[in-house]
Chains A and B, each alone.
Chain A
Amino acid sequence: MKKPGLSKARPVFRLWLILFLACGLAAMADDRPVRYDLKVELIPETATLQGKETIVWTNRTADYIPDIQFHLYWNAFKNERSTLAQEASREKIISRYRAKKDEWGWIKLVSLSTDSGLDLMPAATFISPDEPHNPDDQTVLRVELPEPLAPGQSITLNLEFQAKVPGSGLRTGHYRDGFFIAQWFPKPGVYEEGRGWNCHEYHLNSEFYADFADYRVEITVPERMVVGASGEEVARRDDPASGKTTYTYVQQNIHDFAWTASPRFVKLERWFRGEEEVTPEEYRQMAELLGLSPQELKLPDVKMILLIEKQHQNQAERHFRALRAALKYYGLWYGPYPYRTITMVDPPYRTGSGGMEYPTLFTAGTSVLLEKDVLSPEQVIIHEFGHGYWYGLVANNEFEEAWLDEGINTYSTGRVSEVAYGPGRLPFRFSGLPLSWLIKFPAVYDWQLGRVVSATVAELDPIVTASWKFFNSMSYSLNVYYRAATCLHTLERLLGEQTWARVMRTYHMRYRFRHPKTEDFIRVVNEVSGQDLTWFFKEFFFNANNFDYAIGSVETRLKPEKYQGVFDSLPTGQASSPPAGVQEKTARKKEKIYETVITLRRLGPARPGPGYGLKLRVDFEDGSSEWREWDGQDRWVRFYFEKPARVKTAVLDPEAIWLVDSNFSNNSYSSQGPGARLLTATVKLVWFLQHLLLTFSGLL
């Protein structure tokens, strides 16, 4: 719908926006070390790829570089001896990957030469750069260059490769004639000046890291296949003789390229129109929050492409609605989406490729049986699109600091879901049928659930840990996703909405198309907030410290009307002064006074930093309230109150600032307790146990 007053200005804004984005992208072009030109043919019958690749790699550092290291990710699926397979076999209960017979995948370099024809294959060796070394792993290939590459010098490499698409593996795979192709081509790692190649083996609990590049990719598939890919489709060539079609995709300034092909896709397109999706009032409010002008926040138009399986086609509009919300809020809060297209894929059935992100393309995943108030597939759509921002644009090293995309994006996903949808019910299923059809599960916000589950790993590993060094997959997942997000929610509440919004926008816009580290994020937080929050990151990101404050005890007693003992003078409030050394009765008071002692305790090692603390609010039966503050440094503190009423409730951190507190249940006191709710929970448990025992007895 057209908004009044904007129709004349719209073309000008659009032109300005396009110019801005084009200039931005173009300005980045000279900084990019890599260009890819790929041609690949998919042979569905054998599930193989035949590929040709031309890489132009430029040394943008001051170092002389003697070699190039490549990722050959699919060799992680080659056998049981790869690093990934070995790590997976050590996961006892749940593993995101299990090596299966007949589903192996691999990638093999057939030839590698320079533009001048020099054969580099003899100089190529597999290496294992991570500890512990695994000589059987073949996911990192080192190629010694004939001469070290000087600063500013480029080299053009021509590669031919063959690859076998793994079965339903990890993030990539095929099932029958549905294919999802990711991490499929030889890709150089990232060279870091003064430090060398950052090119890790493919680990179970890690994702990816690469340089921004321009891509031009030709994909040849049987004509019956519907194809989706990163970037924009610029050409299509049909060859009736061979029954094949070649699609050409191009995209500047991305650091990965994925694609998919299946005959069962339905391809749908919609447009996200910035001026229709966001009202002037929303622009104005956001501008005020961020301290920017509304014009700076204008969102561009984006073509939304959806490849959805026919069995899920009736859910297409649910998919688009979620993507619109994501484009809108990520754009308003962090910065406009800089590409012209976004491709959303309902992954081919049983390819193991759902819920994953690639620049300008992501996979979601849904089910034929949906529930109305369960935010699935919405949350996964928002989350995976969001990775286009956190990882796609702000391209942290996912191997070494996964929280910078997963944690920040989990936080962002929760915020978008909250604003666009409200709380969602938990998605439990049994035998493929939604249990919510029978049982009314509670509706929760992402951050509520996240803080509860992440408390279980508070003392296991620091959030900032290299992905493959976490204790296990659960520690990795809960730490980098949920605990990191919980910490960010806490930081938001400590700093306030406005400061936090500015922190996040500054961080995103400053580090777009760059590779930031945790220290960069901390620097931005300190700079924008004007405070030193380094202690926060030290406490919660670099250490595994549990933050748990509690109300230890609440004691109330009637203040005695008289005190026994020998007094030099009467206690305060006495009516008359007796002679010294004589026991005296006090005058009977008309009003009862209650003495209340509240003890607060610090149960974990984590503490607030300088200038921060916790608040205590105490409500009394006469309707009055008192507040106290505690810096939380000692192990305990006591507060004393004298009031003509008993204490009714006491709440530590009543504003719920410290979401990182691992146990909210000990943060409050009520003279009456939760009453009916606890009784209901107990009654339901009894009832459930009766049924369990009765069912068991029925077997006898």
Chain B
Amino acid sequence: MSLQTYLNPGLNRTITRFRLSVYIWLILLVLALLALAPINSLLRNSLGHFYLPDKPVMPFELNLAEVFLANQEILSPYVGFLLTLMLLTGLIFTFLSAGLFGRMLSPDPVVTLREFLSDGARHFWKFFLSLLVFLPFLAVLLILFRLLTAPLNLWSSRAVTEWPVIISANLRMLVLILLWTAFKLFLDLTRIIMISESKKVIPAYVSALRFLKRHFFRFWGLYLLLGLAVIIISAFWFFIMRLIPSGAGPGVLAFIFLGQIYIIFRVLARQVFIGVEYAYYLRQKGE
């Protein structure tokens, strides 16, 4: 079977449920604006009437740094605020994930905000529990990581030039990313099974393990191919973003537009992953 067998249904499923990415994008935007609010207030108060001549005394970025350094006393509470927000975001995104999976796997292609939110509510608790059950698997991931990278550590510790150190640091990063993708695939599959077959958390994990025992490498290969596609598109996107001049009016608008399009792209990519995983699972399970 070719890649198209899984890609087409996954893409179709994503396109028909495009609205999900818009809902999630909006929620992300609100959360980001909320996270930024204290800093934005500081910047407006400090620099709202700042005069920036054509030949400034120093780059504007240093003025920003100066504002932060001059107001260090607020940074500590701000970090606390940010961490609290991240925890809250964790819960919110568990809810959104539940809604995302719910709508993506639903046979009904129509997506409304109400259905998205009720799927989120319906599956939230299972998704939260699946995260808790996933924690021991994270410990396994770390153990595997240490085992697999031990030779790299040895090589790096004996190096007499920089190259082994640089190469091994980046290879360790690659190993971590690859391991993470494998474990994430496992988590995704468990959630697909939980929703599509209405299974409870532990039985879904068991089913997922059984499935992966037979299909892991092909499934993972497919996952990695999708990931590679996302990376290539992202690299191209970043290259375009670097060309945008900073400071000029049209440049700001271009940055806002392209920047937000990229965020939506990332959410869509997530949807594609879910769609393709589901298509693969259905096809392979049927065999």
Chain A residues proximal to chain B, CB less than 8 Å: 175-176, 178, 264, 309-311, 349, 367-369, 431-433, 438, 440, 442-445, 448-449, 452-453, 455-456, 554, 649-651, 656, 662-666, 668-671, 673-674, 676-687, 689-691, 693-694, 696-698, 700
A690 touches B170 (CB 8 A): no
Contact with A264, one of B33, B160, B184 (Cβ below 8 angstroms)? B160
Q: Inside 8 A of B251's CB, which chain A residues have their CB?
A: 676, 680
Q: Inside 8 A of B260's CB, which chain A residues have their CB?
A: 687
Q: Inside 8 A of A449's CB, which chain B residues have their CB?
A: 62
Distance in Å: Cβ of B247 to nearest Cβ of chain A: 5
B46 touches A685 (CB 8 A): no
B1 within 8 Å of A (CB atoms): no
A681 touches B64 (CB 8 A): yes
Q: A448-B59, A676-B247, A693-B32 are in contact. Are A649 and B162 (CB under 8 A)?
A: no
| CB-nearest residue of chain B to A554 | B49
Contact with A700, one of B36, B94, B263 (Cβ below 8 angstroms)? B94
A673 touches B35 (CB 8 A): no
| CB-nearest residue of chain A to B86 | A696
* 5 residue pairs, one from A and one from B, having the closest CB atoms: A432-B166, A668-B51, A697-B93, A670-B51, A689-B32
Q: A677-B246, A693-B28 are in contact. Are A431 and B62 (CB under 8 A)?
A: no
| Cα–Cα distance between A678 and B36 once the two chains are bound (Å) | 14
A678 touches B43 (CB 8 A): yes
Q: Inside 8 A of A663's CB, which chain B residues have their CB?
A: 66-67, 70
> What are 12 sample pairs from A and B whose C-beta atoms fall under 8 A apart?
A368-B161, A442-B62, A448-B58, A665-B46, A665-B66, A665-B70, A678-B44, A681-B64, A685-B39, A687-B263, A690-B28, A698-B184
B165 within 8 Å of A (CB atoms): yes
Contact with B169, one of A431, A665, A668, A677 (Cβ below 8 angstroms)? A431
| CB-nearest residue of chain B to A671 | B49
| Cα–Cα distance between A555 and B146 once the two chains are bound (Å) | 64
Distance in Å: Cβ of A71 to nearest Cβ of chain B: 31
Contact with B62, one of A369, A448, A700 (Cβ below 8 angstroms)? A448
A-contact bits for B150-164, CB 8 A (1 contact / 0 none): 000000000111110
B118 within 8 Å of A (CB atoms): no
Distance in Å: Cβ of A671 to nearest Cβ of chain B: 7
B61 within 8 Å of A (CB atoms): yes
| CB-nearest residue of chain B to A553 | B49
Q: Inside 8 A of B28's CB, which chain A residues have their CB?
A: 690, 693-694
Q: Inside 8 A of A682's CB, which chain B residues have their CB?
A: 36, 40, 43
A700 touches B131 (CB 8 A): yes
| Cα–Cα distance between A432 and B36 once the two chains are bound (Å) | 31
Contact with B96, one of A264, A664, A691, A697 (Cβ below 8 angstroms)? A697
A683 touches B160 (CB 8 A): no
B212 within 8 Å of A (CB atoms): no
Contact with B69, one of A452, A649, A683 (Cβ below 8 angstroms)? A452
A-contact bits for B259-278, CB 8 A (1 contact / 0 none): 11001001100100000000
B59 touches A442 (CB 8 A): yes
Q: A444-B58, A664-B66, A665-B67 are in contact. Are A670 and B249 (CB under 8 A)?
A: no
Distance in Å: Cβ of B254 to nearest Cβ of chain A: 11
Distance in Å: Cβ of B26 to nearest Cβ of chain A: 11
Distance in Å: Cβ of B88 to nearest Cβ of chain A: 11
B80 within 8 Å of A (CB atoms): no
A680 touches B252 (CB 8 A): yes
B89 within 8 Å of A (CB atoms): yes
Q: Inside 8 A of B267's CB, which chain A residues have their CB?
A: 694
Q: A431-B166, A697-B89 are in contact. Are A349 and B161 (CB under 8 A)?
A: yes
| Cα–Cα distance between A686 and B33 once the two chains are bound (Å) | 6
Contact with A433, one of B67, B163, B170, B266 (Cβ below 8 angstroms)? B170
A670 touches B49 (CB 8 A): yes
Q: A665-B70, A690-B32 are in contact. Are A432 and B59 (CB under 8 A)?
A: no
Q: Inside 8 A of A176's CB, which chain B residues have their CB?
A: 160
Extra contacts, 15 of them, besides A431-B169, A673-B47, A674-B51 (Cβ < 8 A), are: A175-B160, A176-B160, A349-B159, A432-B162, A433-B170, A442-B61, A442-B62, A456-B69, A664-B66, A681-B43, A685-B40, A691-B266, A693-B28, A693-B35, A700-B131
Q: Inside 8 A of B247's CB, which chain A residues have their CB?
A: 676-677, 680
| Cα–Cα distance between A343 and B257 once the two chains are bound (Å) | 54
A666 touches B165 (CB 8 A): no
| Cα–Cα distance between A685 and B94 once the two chains are bound (Å) | 24
| Cα–Cα distance between A367 and B48 once the two chains are bound (Å) | 41
B252 touches A679 (CB 8 A): yes
Distance in Å: Cβ of B39 to nearest Cβ of chain A: 7
| Cα–Cα distance between A683 and B247 once the two chains are bound (Å) | 11
B163 touches A696 (CB 8 A): no
B63 within 8 Å of A (CB atoms): yes
| CB-nearest residue of chain A to B238 | A438
B32 touches A686 (CB 8 A): yes
| Cα–Cα distance between A471 and B279 once the two chains are bound (Å) | 62
B59 touches A443 (CB 8 A): yes
Distance in Å: Cβ of B166 to nearest Cβ of chain A: 4
Distance in Å: Cβ of B271 to nearest Cβ of chain A: 13
B173 touches A431 (CB 8 A): yes
B221 within 8 Å of A (CB atoms): no
Distance in Å: Cβ of B91 to nearest Cβ of chain A: 9
B50 within 8 Å of A (CB atoms): yes
| CB-nearest residue of chain A to B263 | A690
Q: Inside 8 A of B131's CB, which chain A residues have their CB?
A: 700
B242 within 8 Å of A (CB atoms): yes
B217 within 8 Å of A (CB atoms): no
Q: Inside 8 A of B259's CB, which chain A residues have their CB?
A: 683, 687
Q: A178-B160, A368-B163, A696-B90 are in contact. Are A665 and B33 (CB under 8 A)?
A: no
Contact with B50, one of A456, A662, A665 (Cβ below 8 angstroms)? A665
| Cα–Cα distance between A175 and B93 once the two chains are bound (Å) | 49
B142 within 8 Å of A (CB atoms): no
| Cα–Cα distance between A676 and B245 once the two chains are bound (Å) | 11
| Cα–Cα distance between A432 and B89 once the two chains are bound (Å) | 32
B43 touches A676 (CB 8 A): no
| Cα–Cα distance between A682 and B64 once the two chains are bound (Å) | 11
Q: Inside 8 A of B89's CB, which chain A residues have their CB?
A: 693, 696-697
B162 touches A677 (CB 8 A): no
Contact with B93, one of A309, A689, A700 (Cβ below 8 angstroms)? A700
Q: Inside 8 A of A687's CB, which chain B residues have their CB?
A: 32, 255, 259-260, 263
Contact with A665, one of B32, B44, B63 (Cβ below 8 angstroms)? B63
Q: Inside 8 A of B50's CB, which chain A residues have their CB?
A: 665, 668-670, 673-674, 678
A444 touches B51 (CB 8 A): no
B52 within 8 Å of A (CB atoms): yes
B35 touches A689 (CB 8 A): yes
Distance in Å: Cβ of B240 to nearest Cβ of chain A: 13
Distance in Å: Cβ of B189 to nearest Cβ of chain A: 15
| CB-nearest residue of chain B to A648 | B51
Distance in Å: Cβ of A649 to nearest Cβ of chain B: 5
| CB-nearest residue of chain B to A445 | B58
| CB-nearest residue of chain A to B246 | A680
Distance in Å: Cβ of A471 to nearest Cβ of chain B: 15
| Cα–Cα distance between A85 and B242 once the two chains are bound (Å) | 46
| Cα–Cα distance between A349 and B156 once the two chains are bound (Å) | 13
| CB-nearest residue of chain A to B85 | A693
| Cα–Cα distance between A676 and B64 once the two chains are bound (Å) | 14
B65 within 8 Å of A (CB atoms): yes
Q: Considering residues B35, B66, B89, B260, which has the most beta carbons from chain A within 10 angstroms of its beta carbon? A: B66
| CB-nearest residue of chain B to A689 | B32
B105 within 8 Å of A (CB atoms): no
B29 within 8 Å of A (CB atoms): yes
